[in-house]
Amino acid sequence: MRSIFSSATAEAERLHTLDVYFIVASLGIFLLVAVLATYYSIKFIDKGDGHEPEQTSSNLKLEAAMIGGPLLLVVLFFFLSINTTRAILPPAGLHTPAVRIIGHQWWWEAAYPNTDVKTANEIHLPVGQRLLIEGT
C-alpha cells in the first residue's frame, strides 16, 4: 500500500530514517520537559505556610547533564546528517541533470537540458534509470 511514508528509492528511505530519528528525539525532549515542568510545578507550589523552598546554588551533576545531553544530541545528529548526505549524493559522473523542474506560482515547468523540450505540469522520466533532477 502506497502512502506518503513509503519510500520509492534507497535515498528517500535514508532521509525518512533520519527524519524518524529527529522526530523521536524531539518527542523525547518534549516529554522530558513537560514531565519535569509538571513535576516541579506541583512540588514547589505555594502551600500558604509562608516558607520558601530550599535554595541551592550549584549542582555540578545536573549542570553537566543539562549541557552534555544536548551537546551529545547535536554531535550525534551532525554525524548522522553528514552520513546520510554522503549516502544520497548522486553517483560520480552524474553531474548534468536529466530534468530541471522550475516551480512557478501556479504551475511546474519541466525542462530537459539534453533536448530543447519543455513541458508544463508534466514530467516524463525513463523507468529503471538513476537520474539527477534539479529543482528551483
Question: Which residue range is the domain that position 45 belongs to?
Answer: 10-88
Q: What is the pLDDT of residues 57-79, one digit of tens each?
A: 888 998 999 999 999 999 999 99
Our count of domains for the chain comes to: 2
Whether the pLDDT of residue 1 is over 70: the answer is no
Instruction: Indicate if 26 and 80 belong to the same structural domain.
Output: yes
Instruction: Indicate if 60 and 112 belong to the same structural domain.
Output: no
The beta-strand segments (E) located in the chain are 99-103, 108-112, 117-120, 133-135
Q: Which residues, at least 6 apart from 51, have a Cβ–Cβ distance to it below 8 Å?
A: none
Q: What is the pLDDT of residues 85-105, one digit of tens each?
A: 998 887 777 677 889 999 999
Instruction: Indicate if 38 and 64 belong to the same structural domain.
Output: yes
C-alpha to C-alpha distances, 128 to 4, 8, 108, 121, nearest whole angstrom: 21, 12, 23, 22
Residue 2: pLDDT band by 50, 70, 90 thresholds? low
Write down the pLDDT at residue 48.
77
In a domain, residue 83? The reply is yes
Do residues 115 and 56 touch, judged by C-beta distance below 8 A?
no
And the C-alpha cell for 66? 543539562
In a domain, residue 5? The reply is no
* Least confident among 21-30, 58-67, 120-129: 120-129
The pTM assigned to this predicted structure is 0.69
Cα–Cα distance, 16 to 23 (Å, whole number)? 10
